[in-house]
Structure 1
């Protein structure tokens, strides 16, 4: 989508097929929510591990970030840092696993249902950006 916006193209085309703009909006929304969820979960875990415990972790904060992204994506990979985390961090990781699994399914079903038709169409306005 970004590529086609930068190229000043009106429609997104891949392999001589046009992608509906509503589908692109759904994909961008899911990606945005995943990014926000991973960032919030990672900040919570790093916040709970502040102080001496964070310095004692083998892989440091990068291992924590990897475990958080893996938990939210329900990948199943770990750097082995989880046993040394506090109980609060483990609860955050469990919540990330649950939300990461449910979020994709729920959002896909909700956002891909037919759009409501709007009976009122307001005029378009060109606004200044930037």
Structure 2
């Protein structure tokens, strides 16, 4: 497995190994293993924040993934807070049209719809490009 190889070669907290761990969390979530995905996403986000700082694109992407896992678990308040921060940082650091910023905005809009109801129109400030 790629994660095992990256972890054994580079160390479990190397940014490449952490990117692999983040990808695994996304796969777990898609397979319906939401608790395992959330646990791994939280660990990855913590490690990336400690090693690279919250302004690093990998840390922003990890926060977007974790916010999605939190929303799926019904932790909407935490999901919105984390998602709003990730969206703001992605726009500030990478620019509004960057793929991480677009994904962060789309996930934030989806989280807001879960909280406010599907019939309400969701606006992002500023709007996505």
TM-score (norm 1): 0.28
Larger Rg computed on CA atoms: 1
Looking at secondary structure, tell me which structure has more helix per residue.
2
Higher relative contact order (CA 8 A, sep 6+): 1
